[in-house]
Amino acid sequence: MDAIKDSPHLNDLIARVIARWPDHAGYVAKSFDGREAAVVAVSDELARIVLVLGAGMAEGMDGLIDDYRFLCESIVLPEELHFRRHGTYRLTRFADAERECYANAPFMNRYMNGLLVSNILWSNHAHAFEAYVNGYLPKLAEGAAHLEIGPGHGLFLYFAARQSRLGRIDGWDVSPTSIANTRAALATLGVERPVSLELVNLFDAAGAPTAGDFDGIVMSEILEHLEDPVAAMVAASRHLKPGGHLWVNVPANSPAPDHIFLVDGLDHAVELVERAGLEVAEKAAFPMSGVSLEKAIKRKLAVSCVVLARKPGHPSGARLRE
């Protein structure tokens, strides 16, 4: 894997994964074959972060890698088999996903741990993360107010917190456990600047004091968990300043036990954004490891769809740079 020969953290993480799961070596090699230098650089930094977080966990890095294998083999694979047979996600209601997944703390802990590693080893996740780091964040102007809805593992907020020019960084989630985990991760990673983490239900937040205050909002891998993603984006846009931007990352054809809304491609993702009354400024699609975008579309394989949308209106104050 020549692409990562000068990436010490990636090499460390990959060596640990392969030592723990030798049969995964072929997939890992395929994932990094031809990976662009900019994506490798972000993946190397992510690997450093995951190694730090893993070292601070009770189960350690070996446990974290075991959780990644659990994600691949016991969480995603059964859902993938259902999707191949039926062309639909297994669940369609949030209440069912909450009962099966979100209310099961041990399961969710392993699920979220596995996703930490997937951001590095799954090509579509790695490319979407690079698009956030090198595409969205640099466009935030001096003093901009940034919000992430559903920060999960806290990695996106960590990279935002490293942008000293930002005036304000917020994270909203409906889960007290998620808020606690995000706060703990940021502390472990040594984030010292203020990051406001609040327990907020997006659909009940119309009267919140932060309404209309943000220049940029991020919703990464959120929409597929909702019964009505358009309504969620409409609700989020109420908290954007005119001219502000919503950065959306949503997987298409990507079955998981808590994915209930099926997006079938980038065009569908764009359609949803436009139905929410937003203007599409940029868009990109990143296929799963080892396949071309054309093959992924033809075979309905997983694709990460990234859309940068703009709220209509005249901007005032800090905003995204053009």
Average pLDDT over residues 15-29: 97
Residue after which a domain boundary falls, among 121, 156, 175: 121
Average pLDDT over residues 248-256: 98
In 3-state terms, what secondary structure has residue 48? Answer: helix
Measured CA to CA, the distance from residue 288 to residue 254 in angstroms comes to: 10
Measured CA to CA, the distance from residue 138 to residue 162 in angstroms comes to: 11
Measured CA to CA, the distance from residue 51 to residue 74 in angstroms comes to: 23
Cβ-in-10-Å burial (0-12, 13-18, 19+) of 67 comes to: buried
Residue after which a domain boundary falls, among 98, 121, 144: 121
Span 70-123, pLDDT tens digits: 999 999 999 999 999 999 999 999 999 999 999 898 999 999 999 999 999 999
DSSP one-letter code for 215:
E
Q: What is the pLDDT of residue 204?
A: 80
19 and 60 share one domain: yes
CB–CB of 255/79 below 8 Å? yes
Share of the chain above pLDDT 90, in %: 86
User: Does position 44 have pLDDT exceeding 90, yes or no?
Assistant: yes
User: Does position 206 have pLDDT exceeding 60, yes or no?
Assistant: no
Span 125-142, pLDDT tens digits: 999 999 999 999 999 999
Q: What is the pLDDT of residue 27?
A: 97
Residue after which a domain boundary falls, among 121, 154, 170: 121
208 and 272 share one domain: yes
197 and 65 share one domain: no
Average pLDDT over residues 251-261: 98
pTM of the shown model? 0.95
Q: What is the pLDDT of residue 201?
A: 87
203 and 267 share one domain: yes
Residue 319 forms part of a structural domain: no
79 and 132 share one domain: no
112 and 147 share one domain: no
Measured CA to CA, the distance from residue 234 to residue 207 in angstroms comes to: 15
Residue 315 forms part of a structural domain: no
130 and 91 share one domain: no
Total domain count for the chain? 2
DSSP one-letter code for 303:
E
Span 166-194, pLDDT tens digits: 999 999 998 888 898 899 999 999 999 99
User: Does position 209 have pLDDT exceeding 60, yes or no?
Assistant: no
Q: What is the pLDDT of residue 317?
A: 62
Measured CA to CA, the distance from residue 92 to residue 39 in angstroms comes to: 33
User: Average pLDDT over the chain, rounded to whole?
Assistant: 94
Measured CA to CA, the distance from residue 1 to residue 192 in angstroms comes to: 36
99 and 130 share one domain: no
Q: What is the pLDDT of residue 210?
A: 60
Domain span including residue 98? 2-121
Residue 139 forms part of a structural domain: yes
Residue 321 forms part of a structural domain: no
User: Does position 320 have pLDDT exceeding 80, yes or no?
Assistant: no
Instruction: Give the sign of the dihedral formed by CA 106, CA 151, CA 160, CA 229.
Output: positive
142 and 286 share one domain: yes
Residue 129 forms part of a structural domain: yes
Q: What is the pLDDT of residue 315?
A: 73
The C-alpha angle 144, 154, 293, rounded to 5 degrees, equals 90
Q: What is the pLDDT of residue 313?
A: 86
